[in-house]
């Protein structure tokens, strides 16, 4: 029999709040974390808004001498992992350290570090001003590596890079590691910090970003007819996955159980989704089959919902095709309407939100939903959170390269 896997700790560093409780209260209240970019002078950029993390004090989580050895995306991961372990009320002993690991991804990694030291190479005509920590600062697996060092995790250690599906793949892979018996617990999810001149500039060049610069708080509007692109965000969302009996033995608080994981690829285009939604359909179908859950049992979907014209339409079409008449009964929401799109960290933050939706029985809203798109005509929980005893939920993440990932969550019952 497959081992059961539960969620026992949560950590969130987000544009709407630092700390899981602050994050949860903000999204339930429909608070936007989008504003003008302050990380650099963006006056010459078509899009000048983003979901920046505010009020984050890195010194609260990392010793001062270590801070300069890490890129901000690693800062966020270490901070979120500290929140996770504090929330779980658990310190890993040396005796079981080899049974606990970390699997944390990022979509892009240390872009700000690359930009900073590239400028130094040009300024000083060579590498003499490059820090010896340059490579460990920017490579994506060092998020998992630094978290493992911080918490003494000697079990499986890896990372995932699948664009906007990164975190959901990371959580799904960690779920399978525990399910098959290779570990008893994993800190997993994603982190991202690429609100930089090149990061924003690259997405501007693709014409993927919202240009509603004068109204940043209403710029991210998934499924709304007036959407004009996504809004970049940053932060980290991590969870502690634990084998059920291990969690019960120590009396852990259990937020939810993960029961299914699906992956697929559109094999269609480097950035655009398959307009027929076949990849998304197969991914969700696989996750439900893995979970042993009938489509009619699903009550809530934390949608990928990026606020781009094509993505929202394709995701809606895939849901209607898979769920049929039941799609009209689903509550569907995109918290990207509040946080912006955290790229590789999106699925991690959304997994935190989905676990809390089940735990508290509150479905967060899709804010800025004003005008129905005739192609997006399901219940997107517009503008106000709703109470619902959520027993089965789904979280979707779809990324560049046509990569798709879905997770199925259930209310925990021993």
Give the active site residues: 164, 304, 341
Residue with tokens 């975190």: 167
Q: Would you state the structure tokens that stand for residue 172, as one six-digit string?
A: 């799904």
- Measured CA to CA, the distance from residue 169 to residue 175 in angstroms comes to 10
User: Which position has the token pair 């192609």?
Assistant: 375
Question: Per-residue DSSP letters for 338-353?
Answer: HH-B-GGGHHHHHHHH
What number of helices (H) and strands (E) belong to the chain? 13, 15
C-alpha to C-alpha distance for 78 and 70, rounded to whole angstroms? 10
Beta bridge mates, 191 = 236
**Tokens at 13, concatenated:** 């560093």
Torsion sign, CA atoms 132, 137, 141, 143: positive
Dump the DSSP string for 166-177: HHHHHHHHHHHH
Q: Which two tokens stand for residue 101?
A: 């690991």
The residue whose two tokens read 């010459």 is 44
Report the run of H or E that residue 392 belongs to, with start and end.
strand 392-399
Cα–Cα distance for residue pair 218/28, rounded to 1 Å: 16
């Amino acid at each position: 029999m497959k081992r059961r896997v539960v969620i026992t700790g949560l950590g969130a560093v987000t544009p709407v709040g630092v700390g899981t409780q602050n994050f949860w209260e903000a999204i339930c209240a429909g608070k936007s974390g989008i504003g003008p970019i302050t990380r650099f002078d963006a006056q010459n950029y078509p899009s000048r808004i983003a979901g920046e993390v505010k009020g984050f004090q890195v010194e609260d989580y990392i010793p001062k001498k270590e801070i300069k050895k890490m890129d901000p995306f690693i800062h966020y991961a270490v901070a979120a992992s500290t929140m996770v372990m504090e929330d779980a009320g658990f310190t890993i002993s040396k005796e079981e350290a080899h049974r606990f690991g970390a699997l944390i991804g990022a979509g892009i990694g240390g872009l700000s570090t690359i930009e900073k030291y590239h400028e130094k190479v040009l300024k000083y005509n060579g590498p003499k001003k490059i820090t010896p920590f340059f490579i460990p600062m920017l490579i994506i697996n060092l998020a998992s590596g630094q978290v493992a060092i911080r918490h003494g995790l000697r079990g499986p250690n890896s990372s995932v890079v699948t664009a906007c599906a990164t975190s959901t793949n990371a959580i799904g892979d960690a779920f399978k590691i525990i399910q098959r018996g290779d570990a008893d617990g994993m800190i997993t999810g994603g982190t991202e910090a690429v609100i930089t001149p090149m990061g924003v500039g690259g997405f501007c060049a693709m014409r993927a970003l919202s240009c509603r610069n004068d109204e940043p708080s209403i710029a991210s509007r998934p499924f709304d007819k007036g959407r004009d692109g996504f809004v970049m965000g940053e932060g980290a969302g991590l969870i502690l996955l634990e084998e059920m009996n291990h969690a019960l033995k120590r009396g852990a608080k259990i937020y939810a159980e993960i029961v299914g994981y699906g992956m697929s690829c559109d094999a269609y285009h480097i950035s655009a989704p398959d307009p027929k939604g076949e990849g998304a359909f197969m991914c969700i179908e696989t996750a439900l089959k893995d979970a042993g859950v009938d489509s009619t049992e699903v009550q809530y979907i934390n949608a990928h919902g990026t606020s781009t014209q094509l993505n929202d339409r394709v995701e809606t079409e895939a849901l209607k095709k898979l769920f049929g008449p039941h799609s009209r009964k689903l509550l569907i929401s995109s918290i990207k309407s509040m946080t912006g799109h955290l790229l590789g960290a999106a699925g991690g933050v959304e997994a935190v939100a989905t676990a809390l939706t089940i735990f508290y029985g509150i479905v967060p809203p899709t804010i800025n939903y004003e005008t129905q798109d005739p192609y997006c005509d399901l219940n997107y929980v517009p503008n106000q959170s709703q109470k619902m005893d959520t027993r089965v939920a789904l979280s979707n993440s779809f990324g560049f390269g046509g990569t798709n990932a879905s997770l199925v969550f259930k209310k925990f019952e021993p």
